[in-house]
Structure formats: C-alpha cells, structure tokens
Amino acid sequence: KLALKVQAEIAFMEGELNLAGSSLQLARDLQPDDVVLANRLKFFKSEQDILTNFLRVRSTRFDCMYDATNPAIQPYLQQVLLDLEEASDAVNQVLGLQPSDRLLVLLLSPKDYVAGAPNWSNGLYDGRIRVPFDGSRAPGDNLRATFRHEYTHAALHRVGPSLPTWLHEGIAQFVEGKDWQR
C-alpha cells in the first residue's frame, strides 16, 4: 500500500493524473476503510476533471500546464515561462539554492484555482505551483511576485528538512519583495 501511495504522489506532482489516480485506487482497494486515502483519491479525481483539456509546455526547469480550450492564454505562454525561469534564478541567487528537478506549474482559471485553494491567495504550492491565470491580461508584476513566492516554497521543500510554516512564509515574502517582518 505504501509503495502505491508514494507512486501516486510522485505521479500527481508530475501531472500524470491517470497514473496517480489508478495507483491510489489500487491502494484504496487494499484498504477500503481508509478515509484519508478516500479523500485523497477524491481530490485526485477532481484535479483530473479540471485538467482534462490541459496541454504542457516546457522550459529549462518547468513544465507548465494550461487549458488548451482557452486561446487567450497562448500568446502569453512564452512570457510566463520566461517569468518562471527568472523567478527561479532570483530565488536561487538570494537563497543560495539550486534544486535540480523539474517543477510542474498549473495555470488555472480563477474559478478552478479557487476551487482548490484559499480565495485570498495568489498562488499555492502543493508539490506543484498553482496560480490563477487565464490570459485575460498580460502577465504582470503581481504574477511574477507570486512565482517568486511559490517557487521559494518549492525550493525550500525540495532541498532540506521541513521548516515551520512561519519561517517558510517569511522567507517566501522576503524573496517576493514584501514586508517579511510581520
């Protein structure tokens, strides 16, 4: 069961939701009374529904998925990828980090984003970076700051032991350029 759960989580972080769902379903079949597994499987299936029409574009360090049925986003994809690369460069330079694995970024409609994240947030790192971006306007400074913030969470998560939430947030806000002292 543990190997199936690990396989499912790795596939999920890489955006391979069919494999993630089938692995977790097999784990659930082995332990049908596990409520945590049931809830995680439900979440995977809802993600799979949202990402059904998504395509993937790649840059040096990122896989970026976007809704292919939304043509408004396509003119901005190269800029988004450049902004992600610049965000990772800035974070790595400030913190002296150099994560080597690829990171998945989901560009979600505001509606789909809020369905899986707090409505007060501009981005979320849950093993992947999730941001609301539908191409209704060009990427701007707020989106670039969000990329720096969320990439900081990803980098810290990947290179060391777990840090307390307050420290994670403080470092992310510092790198983002916000007042981190509060």
pLDDT 10s digits, 57-109: 999 999 999 999 999 999 999 999 999 999 999 999 998 887 778 899 999 99
Q: CA 88 to CA 133: how far, in whole Å?
A: 19
- Please give the structure tokens belonging to residue 148: 């720096």
Q: What is the mean pLDDT of residues 113-128?
A: 88
Q: Do 147 and 129 meet the contact criterion of CB atoms below 8 Å apart?
A: yes
Residues in contact with 48: Cβ distance below 8 Å, sequence separation at least 6, in sequence order = 17, 18, 21
pTM of the model: 0.83
Cα separation of the two ends of the chain: 43
Q: CA 73 to CA 77: how far, in whole Å?
A: 7
Strand-strand pairing, 103-108 and 54-58: unpaired
Write out pLDDT tens, residues 28-53. 899 899 998 888 888 888 888 888 89
More confident call, 163 vs 108:
108
